[in-house]
Chain A
Amino acid sequence: MGVEPGRVHFSWISSAESTKFVEVVKQVTEAVRQLGPNENFVKKELKVA
């Protein structure tokens, strides 16, 4: 629908997998940072039509 594939991530992380959690957070942050700020679904300004 026009949202870049790298912006949405899914992961199974058990509450015991703290290392994996840290890893995934780092990866996600890096991936999303590379895409830049999300411009879609954001009202850039208050306006109508």
Chain B
Amino acid sequence: MGAYTDKIREIAGRLLKDCQVEMVIGFRKGSMPMMNEPCFVTRADAVDQLVWDGSCGINLANYLTGRTEARIGVVAKGCDSRNIVTHIIENKIKREQLTIIGVPCTGMIDKRRLKNLAPGEVLAVEEDGERVVVRGDGFETVHQRREVLQANCAVCHHRNPVIHDELVGDPVSEQTEVDRYADVRAIEGLSAKEKWDYFEALLAPCLRCYACRNACPLCYCPTCFVDEAMPQWVGKSQNPVDVRTFHFLRAYHCAGRCTDCGSCERACPVGINMRLFTKKLEKDAYEMWGWEAGLSLEQRPPLDTYRPEDPEPFIK
């Protein structure tokens, strides 16, 4: 991954020096292990702060919404690139504004999982090819990278950027053998009551900080429905009905748009896997319309087009 960092700096430096872009959006090294901070660079002599490793899980498409700069460089792994495509077809940014620095991705490290596995506080995490070395006060453990990937990365089908102007390395092989929807199927098999109870427990720790919503590139409404005051659609307290209404409605707003980038789950301060909601809708979009979001600039999403062959067995 160190090679990616060098290449990103080289490309960003060149783009800035040649005035091909006004800014490059990427990641800089965070102050904590497994945390990198999204940042922007505007000068070629400042590109050395850009880095790439397995802790760049935040989706940078989120930082493009409504940007007015004429030329922007943006670092994008597979899922980021799909959200950039979605942003373009939803008119949140123009293709001409972007120089996409594609990063073939081998998955992001699940910081929560590594912290839970560690016998003490994690003080440093080092990636060395397939090995992930975790160090803390008085311990050092080694994990296989594929065993500590974020859940969404472990089942990712689009690790290579689907759209790019530069590429920082050779494309990586796609994972074709993974079962993407095992977790969703398990929930589909539950009864209505069991589902209700399952989600009740899932959402119990929610603080309504809205980190999931705000980390999501799809959630760009000028005023989210939970923030509407006239009329007010949903209560503001910790009442479980209101908490659930927020999560369900947010998920529905992502139907046919979600790329399962995992930013929402990664951002959550209390570790809720709200991807279970969006993933069900992602699965439905795939099964009903053969649709995977963000793969094509030409095709319109299934929910804003009508085709005579659209499935409609639910209509009686």
Contacts and interface: CB of A to CB of B under 8 A. Distances in A.
Contacts of B195: 1-2
B315 A3 contact: no
A15 interface: no
B66 to A, nearest CB: 31
Interface stretch (B82-90, B224-232, B235-243, B303-311): B235-243
A18 B316 CA distance: 15
Contacts of B316: 9-11, 24
Nearest to A9: B316
A2 B192 contact: yes
A2 B199 contact: yes
Interface in A1-17: 1-5, 9-12
Interface string B189-222: 0001101111100000000000000000000000
Given A10-B314, A10-B315, A12-B315, A4 B192 contact: yes
A43 B239 contact: yes
Given A10-B315, A41-B245, A1 B239 contact: no
B244 interface: yes
A2 B238 CA distance: 20
Contacts of A3: 192
A11 B192 contact: no
Contacts of B241: 41-43
A8 B195 CA distance: 17
A5 B238 CA distance: 27
A1 B198 CA distance: 9
Interface size class of A (residues with CB under 8 A): 10 to 19
A24 to B, nearest CB: 8
B315 A5 contact: no
A25 interface: no
Nearest to B316: A11
Contacts of A40: 196
B238 A11 contact: no
Contact of B244 (A9, A10, A41): A41
Contacts of B245: 41
Given A9-B316, A10-B314, A2 B237 contact: no
B311 to A, nearest CB: 12
Contacts of A2: 192-193, 195-199
B192 A48 contact: no
Interface in A21-49: 24, 40-43, 47-49
B196 A47 contact: no
B248 interface: yes
Contact of A49 (B192, B193, B196, B239): B239
A5 B192 contact: yes
Contact of A47 (B192, B239, B315): B239
Contacts of B192: 2-5
A16 B314 CA distance: 22
B204 to A, nearest CB: 10
A1 B199 contact: yes
Interface of B: 192-193, 195-199, 235, 237-241, 244-245, 248, 277, 314-316
